[in-house]
């Protein structure tokens, strides 16, 4: 992958006396070589602080220069790696037009408009196809013209051909067909992260569920990894499982592809991961809490909520058991 343009670093910092600093990812990537060295500084002569293996996932914080990316690994390390050895899977973008139309297909004449986006709104860009960007906005998928969205990683975002693209089903149409609503939620107020998790007298699945529910009401932040200050859907599931000694991948798609084992919808138990998306492509994950309900980091407007199993706003794809 040849990099032609320097990309500016995007860092969100929350700081005050005795408070930590939080850095949010601008993109997700996977290592595309057998072994990738992580350096303390953006220099091949800098101290080697570790190695990544092929297909390891990294949070991309920003760009040091044309050749180097600043990353944060799943173990929390901050380091620098050669940009050409990381494939960008998803990247954050910003709407730069007013009233930008979100469509169900990448075409002006052969598509339907189901929403409009305002200047400055954030989206997640999945890929580029023939001058259009496939994006996720507040949990909904669609296509917008590439000229109305900018990203520091636009030249490195993967591309697809029109033959590979399928029409998306807008979330509201799914809700009308199933009679569900993504607003079926419970809010018990904001809760800070706790150092320990009680397990006495409860199964691990039930313990995980009770632990996850205490964060209902806390914010959704794309790329965030903090259960108290901001987390996205897969960050939520990863961090909850981590608190119970379970290591899983960082993105919803990787969790579905790589972690645990498949269980049917009728076999769901507390603590199972449930996955959603369009056309069989996973783009959202939640934790099953029993009684036909899930807890999940839903959207920036709702934060972490409790919904019905079929009320995530996207079609149900499957479930995995990781405990």
Q: Which residues have a catalytic role annotated? A: 233, 284, 296
What is the C-alpha to C-alpha distance for residues 58 and 146, in angstroms, rounded to an integer? Answer: 25
Percentages helix, strand, coil for the chain (3-state, rounded to 5) are 15, 35, 50
86-95 and 78-82 strand pairing: unpaired
What is the C-alpha to C-alpha distance for residues 22 and 226, in angstroms, rounded to an integer? Answer: 8
Helix/strand/coil for 29? strand
What is the C-alpha to C-alpha distance for residues 18 and 33, in angstroms, rounded to an integer? Answer: 40
**C-alpha distance from residue 308 to each of 48, 108, 182, 314 (Å):** 47, 35, 8, 12
Residue 224 · residue 24 · CB < 8 Å: yes
Sign of the alpha-carbon torsion through 235, 238, 240, 242: negative
What is the C-alpha to C-alpha distance for residues 277 and 267, in angstroms, rounded to an integer? Answer: 20
Take residue 81 and report the two structure tokens written for it: 């790696």
90: left (phi over 0), alpha (psi -120 to 50) or beta: beta
Take residue 253 and report the two structure tokens written for it: 């798609």
User: DSSP code of 218?
Assistant: P
């Amino acid at each position: 992958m040849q990099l032609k343009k320097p990309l500016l670093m995007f860092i969100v910092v929350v700081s005050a006396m005795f408070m930590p600093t939080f850095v949010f990812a601008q993109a997700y990537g996977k290592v595309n070589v057998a072994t990738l060295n992580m350096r303390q500084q953006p220099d091949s002569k800098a101290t080697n602080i570790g190695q990544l293996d092929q297909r390891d996932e990294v949070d991309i914080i920003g760009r040091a220069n044309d050749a180097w990316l600043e990353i944060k690994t799943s173990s929390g390390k901050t380091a620098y790696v050669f940009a050409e050895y990381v494939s960008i899977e998803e990247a954050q973008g910003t709407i730069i037009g007013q009233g930008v139309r979100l469509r169900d297909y990448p075409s002006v004449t052969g598509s339907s408009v189901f929403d409009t986006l305002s200047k400055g709104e954030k989206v997640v860009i999945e890929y580029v196809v023939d001058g259009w960007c496939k994006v996720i906005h507040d949990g909904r998928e669609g296509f917008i013209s590439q000229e109305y969205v900018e990203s520091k990683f636009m030249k490195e975002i993967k591309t697809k051909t029109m033959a590979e693209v399928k029409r998306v089903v807008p979330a509201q149409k799914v809700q009308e067909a199933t009679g569900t609503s993504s607003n079926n939620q419970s809010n018990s107020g904001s809760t800070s992260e706790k150092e320990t998790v009680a397990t006495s007298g409860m199964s691990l699945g039930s313990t995980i569920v009770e632990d996850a529910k205490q964060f209902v009401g806390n914010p959704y932040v794309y790329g965030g990894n903090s259960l108290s200050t901001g987390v996205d859907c897969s960050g939520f599931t990863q961090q909850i499982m981590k608190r119970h000694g379970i290591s899983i991948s960082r993105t919803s798609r990787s969790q579905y592809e790589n972690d645990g084992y498949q269980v049917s919808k009728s076999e769901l138990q507390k603590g199972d991961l449930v996955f959603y998306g369009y056309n069989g492509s996973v783009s959202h994950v939640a934790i099953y809490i029993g009684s036909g309900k899930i807890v999940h980091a839903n959207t920036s407007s709702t934060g972490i909520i409790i919904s019905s199993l079929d009320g995530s706003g996207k079609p149900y794809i499957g479930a995995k058991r990781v405990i």
